[in-house]
Amino acid sequence: MSDRLSVRWTLVPRDCPRPVFACPTCGGDRPFHQSGKVRVNANGKRLDAWLIYKCDDCDRTWNRPIFERRLAADIPPVELAALRSGDPAFIRRLAFDLAALRRKTPTIIQSDDVTVEKAVIGGTTASVGIDIMLALPYPVGLRLDRLLAVELGLARSRIIALADAGRLVVRDGGNALKRPPRDGQTARLDLDGIGDGRAIIDAAGRPANLAADTTPRIASDDP
């Protein structure tokens, strides 16, 4: 369909989730951040592995078990190699495993700091509507209404008004705007006859406003 611009937004959180619990050194609840390091201990034929976290305030470490007393022979060689070499992509997947973190603490801080990579996958900017497909390789903490507001260059109240008018339809409906977006979720905007519709459509396909200064292409010194 040529009357709608189809875009895919890929959301990449910059910070890993931070579990909160009592730090024995600080003497109160503190967020802990993952250090990027894993520890693997051999005990005969069995292995223990931990992901190392540090208290935000005092650097006290917390070892989050990845597995304990597991037979080395039962661990897929690829996983073991990734653990032993401290493979960053593997560690990042572990660090974003919210289900595993929730077994340790009910309180987890998820950053709103998200890089949005936009790709036009169909239609043109001469359209009167937008289909947004959301891709989330990792979970993010920010609300969908805030994401749409920032990335479309609109006030959050405008997002709500568009939804109330039936011009913004989000899959999963109901309270979806107040919740974090989900992988595969779609949002459809009908902007026919709206004064600033063209600007909104342009923003939908333009590289992320928020992260324009941190894309590797622009800021090559970004670590």
**Measured between alpha carbons, how far is 182 from 142 in angstroms, rounded to an integer?**
11
Query: Total residues contacting Zn ion (rule CB under 5 A)?
Result: 8
**Phi (first) and psi of residue 67, to 5 degrees:** -155, 160
Tell me, residue by residue from 78 to 117, as one string, x for binding to Zn ion by CB under 5 A and - for no binding: ----------------------------------------
What's the min distance (Å) between Cβ of 29 and Zn ion? 10
Please tell me the distance from the alpha carbon of residue 121 to that of residue 183, in angstroms, as a whole number.
17
Would you count residue 219 as binding Zn ion (CB under 5 A)? no
Site map (CB under 5 A) of Zn ion, residues 26-45, x = contact: x---x---------------
CB nearer to Zn ion: pick between 20 and 199: 20
Alpha-helical regions (H) of the chain: 77-85, 88-95, 98-102, 144-152, 156-164, 197-205
* Tokens coding 170: 């989000």
Report which of 5, 218, 9 is spatially closest to residue 118, judged by C-alpha positions: 9
Of 148, 53, 141, 139, the C-alpha closest to 104 is: 53
Minimum CB separation of residue 25 from Zn ion in Å reads 5
Binding mask 4-23 for Zn ion (x = CB under 5 A): -------------------x
Q: Which is nearer to Zn ion, 25 or 157 (CB)?
A: 25
Mask of contacts with Zn ion, 42-61, x by CB under 5 A? -------------x-xx-x-
Out of 25, 41, 157, 214, the residue judged to bind Zn ion by CB under 5 A: 25
| Pick 61 or 124: Cβ nearer Zn ion | 61
Q: Is 125 in the site for Zn ion (CB under 5 A)?
A: no
Q: Considering the complex, what minimum distance in angstroms separates the CB of residue 27 from Zn ion?
A: 8
Q: For residue 16, with 0-12 CB atoms within 10 Å meaning exposed, 13-18 middle and 19 or more buried, which class applies?
A: buried
Nearer to Zn ion, 21 or 67 (CB): 21
Which DSSP state fits 27?
T
CB neighbour list of residue 201: distance below 8 Å, 6 or more residues apart: 5, 125, 127, 130, 191
**Site of interaction with Zn ion (CB under 5 A):** 23, 25-26, 30, 55, 57-58, 60
